[in-house]
Amino acid sequence: MLIKQTDYHRIYRVINSLVVNEGGNPAYACMYFSTFGAFILEHHYKIQATPKGGLAAYNLDGSMLLFADHRDDGYVTGAGENFHCWTEADGWAIDFMAPAFSETANPLGVPSKMFQRPISEMVSSINDLNHSGSFFYQSEPEATAARFADWQNLPVIGDLASIAVKWFRRSPKQMLPSISVGDQKGNLKPVPLIGNPLAGSW
């Protein structure tokens, strides 16, 4: 593993907490999880990490989870609205949003688990997701760059990323159970550290 499961869970919970505080739904916040996760890895681990976006497909205990749009020619693409984002760092693929798959794919009964796998273990085709934990990514750089361009320029995104980095602590250091965040009017309010417990890893 690139990072310990304890630290993975902490990163997920920090980002999850900030997304919830902003009124967002963690099950659809992959841009936050991938960019803030990469930012934390670079700051706390000195690891060069890159958010990626595009098509993503997972076999989760036999349930297939696909983030993609169907094209007119019968193929699927990750350049449309049903995209997904993940983080790549030092030969590893890390999806910090994976514990929220239990909400994304609620009807499938998917548990909350860590997803952190060597990129070399990725299957070669979306048709090869034959066992639990198998995954396939197809990055769409142009669509991802266009999608992130306006989003990253929002002042709140930089502020939240900085808060995430300050809040996170590598184990065994203690994490603050809450942090104060200012709203648009400058009023401070406590944000509790929340998130799904992990039931292992994919």
Identify whether 9 is part of a domain.
yes
Amino acid residing at 197: P
In a domain, 111, yes or no: yes
d(CA 95, CA 37): 9
* Total domains in the fold of the chain: 1
Helices (H), 27-154: 30-45, 101-104, 141-152
Asked whether the whole model's pTM tops 0.75, one would answer yes
**Can you give the residue range of the structural domain that contains 159?**
5-192
CATH number of the domain bearing residue 51: 3.10.550.10
Residue 95 lies in a domain: yes
End-to-end CA separation in angstroms for the chain: 12
Q: Give the dihedral sign, CA 174/96/160/40.
A: positive
Is 54 within 8 Å of 138 (Cβ atoms)? yes
pLDDT value of position 3: 96
Residue 198 lies in a domain: no
What is the per-residue pLDDT for 105? 66
In a domain, 11, yes or no: yes
Q: Which residues contact residue 137 at a Cβ distance below 8 angstroms, ignoring those fewer than 6 apart?
A: 52, 54, 55, 56, 57, 86, 93, 122
Q: State the pLDDT at residue 106.
A: 66
Residue 132 falls inside a structural domain: yes
Question: Contact 38/16 with Cβ under 8 angstroms?
Answer: no
Asked, for residue 162, whether it belongs to a domain, the answer is yes
**What pLDDT tens digit does each residue of the chain (202 aa) get?**
899 999 999 999 999 999 999 999 998 999 999 999 999 999 999 999 999 999 999 998 888 888 877 777 767 777 777 889 999 999 999 999 999 998 876 666 788 999 999 999 999 998 999 999 999 999 998 988 888 888 877 888 888 999 999 999 999 999 999 999 877 677 788 999 999 999 999 8
Percent helix, strand, coil in the chain, to 5, is 40, 25, 35
pLDDT at 12: 98
The answer to whether residue 199 is domain-embedded is no
Spatial separation of the C-alpha atoms in residues 145 and 161, rounded to whole Å: 18
